[in-house]
Amino acid sequence: MPKRNAKPAVKAATSKGPEGGSACRVALIGCGTVGRAVAKILGQSGGSSLRLTHICNRNVEKKRKTVLANDVPRDVIWTDDVQAVLNSDVEIVIELIGGLNPAGQIVRSALEAGKSVVTANKQLIARHGSELLQLAGSKGCQIEFGASVAGGVPVLPALRTGLCGDRLHGIAGILNGTCNYILSRIENARIPFSEALEEAQARGYAEADASEDLDGGDARAKLAILALAGLHAQVAPESIRARTIRAVDAVDFDYAAELGCTIRQISRADLKENTLFAEVGPCLVPKDSPFGRVQRNLNLVLTSGQYGGDMAFLGAGAGGDPTAVAVVSDVMSVAQNLSAGRGSGPGKRDVASNVSTTSISTPKISSDFETPWYLRFFVRDQPGIVAQLAQIMAAHHLNIDSLLQKPGFDKASLPFVITLEPCRDAQLHPALEEMSRLDFSIRPCLCLPILR
Ligand SMILES: NC(=O)c1ccc[n+]([C@@H]2O[C@H](COP(=O)([O-])OP(=O)(O)OC[C@H]3O[C@@H](n4cnc5c(N)ncnc54)[C@H](OP(=O)(O)O)[C@@H]3O)[C@@H](O)[C@H]2O)c1
């Protein structure tokens, strides 16, 4: 059994370690939540053959006070001068600033200078991943981004190594811990969405402006990276439809439970010939399924392959320490490759990145999934409501599977549910448009796919 508090095994790098004089030189740019944890892991791995030489952050003196002196070697250079880091002899640059700029410029400059890059920056990789991979390849260096999806869950490295022998056709995941926290709190405490959001913010699981999380922007950036790494499909995150979780109400969990289900924000991508069916949004999932069992802020990714079938990856999708483990693991992997290439000259290194650029396709993107559907209406009660809804559905050739109405609600704001047999999204939406114009409807219909 591993000893508690044992030093992290940051051992696999280039050669003999600092004493031997040929440790791989590593610079950290961005010393926030993840950066601080990376500095700590690297700093606590005495005798390692990775050597942290620079920590770069704006307002660096203030930042320095947030890092325990014992956590980093005394000879680390603290600086706010990014250019000085890029001009130095570091071999690996860890970018942990986040956002598109200046992070993107820093990453490009590092690669141009022949330095390998490790980043956890999902926005950057989702938008510019294949361009940066090509730049790295052309300079004989690497860019790794294993922490950019699912934080500490090693799903990207698994796609690169353990699953690269399969032909994957589907990836689905719970990729946003904030949404999962909120939805599982509504599920367990039957509290309103607004209360669950406030609670998540108070506990540090949601930002003050949580729109990127709630409305699916964060998850679709991660899904775009998974599609690139696992399905070799290049897709702009904005081209993936994202539906918000804001409209999910506590009553939806009551109705979902009647169907043996719960509700989770699911990101899914299925490659069929040259179309990538992809979307992010709340879905009904069976309560006893892997997705239904994921609670709080955990992440889960399921992959489906032609030969290997289904695989599952579960764990901490965020947090300084778990994410830093993924970052340091990438640094170790790059250092191993540098070590293997040492002596053979530039351009001859083994460039084993998270993604190979050789077979990347640019498929058509569609959100036109065929599934059963859950439609929840809030209406002002009056005679003939179901008849009118049924008439519209019949006109659009939609088959009703069940009708659920719980007693005890105010007739001025009455929730009830209709479930539909499988049909395509494109077939359902014109009917929803028509239904939204009916005068008894007091809220837009909540329309969720049911994933079986
Ligand atoms: N936190 C997580 O759980 C998690 C999980 C997975 C992936 N990630 C990704 O990891 C990256 C870092 O996230 P984080 O949570 O550590 O962010 P963070 O706490 O905001 O840290 C960012 C750091 O970069 C510094 N910085 C910002 N702009 C800079 C600039 N122009 N020049 C120099 N330093 C600059 C910030 O300094 P100030 O303090 O002065 O602003 C801060 O120290 C992001 O790409 C994020 O998406 C994070």
Beta bridge partners of 28: 55, 94
- Ligand 1 pocket check for 32: Cβ under 6 Å: yes
pLDDT at residue 2 greater than cutoff 60 = no
- Which residue from 92, 98, 91, 77 is spatially nearest to 32, judged by alpha carbons? 98
Per-residue model confidence (pLDDT) at position 345: 42
The model's pTM = 0.92
- Ligand 1 pocket check for 305: Cβ under 6 Å: no
Q: Which atom of ligand 1 is nearest to the CA of 148?
A: 7
Which alpha helices (DSSP H) does 142-192 contain, by range? Answer: 155-160, 177-189
Give me the percent of the chain exceeding a pLDDT of 70. Answer: 91
- Which residue from 176, 186, 207 is spatially nearest to 298, judged by alpha carbons? 176
Per-residue model confidence (pLDDT) at position 19: 47
Per-residue model confidence (pLDDT) at position 355: 62
Give the mutation target among 28, 33, 80 for probing the ligand 1 site: most ligand atoms within 8 A of CB. 33
Q: What's the mean pLDDT in 136-148? A: 96
Residues 161-208 have pLDDT tens digits of 999 999 999 999 999 999 999 999 999 999 999 999 999 999 999 999
pLDDT at residue 281 greater than cutoff 60 = yes
Give me the percent of the chain exceeding a pLDDT of 90. Answer: 85
pLDDT at residue 70 greater than cutoff 90 = no
Q: What's the mean pLDDT in 142-148? A: 97
Per-residue model confidence (pLDDT) at position 4: 42
Q: Give the dihedral of Cα atoms 184, 187, 190, 194; nearest 10 deg.
A: 40
Question: What are the residue numbers of the active site?
Answer: 222
Q: Give the dihedral of Cα atoms 41, 43, 47, 53; nearest 10 deg.
A: 120
| HEC sequence for 373-406 | EEEEEEECCCCCHHHHHHHHHHHCCCCEEEEECC
Q: Exposed, middle or buried by CB within 10 Å (0-12, 13-18, 19+), for 164? A: middle
Distance CA 393, CA 386 (A): 10
- Ligand 1 pocket check for 324: Cβ under 6 Å: no
Per-residue model confidence (pLDDT) at position 347: 39
Q: What's the mean pLDDT in 247-258? A: 97
Q: What's the mean pLDDT in 104-128? A: 97
Q: Which atom of ligand 1 is nearest to the CA of 62?
A: 40
Query: Distance of alpha carbon 367 from its chain centroid, rounded?
Result: 19
Per-residue model confidence (pLDDT) at position 18: 44
User: How many angstroms does the Cα of residue 32 sit away from the middle of ligand 1?
Assistant: 5
Distance CA 425, CA 238 (A): 19
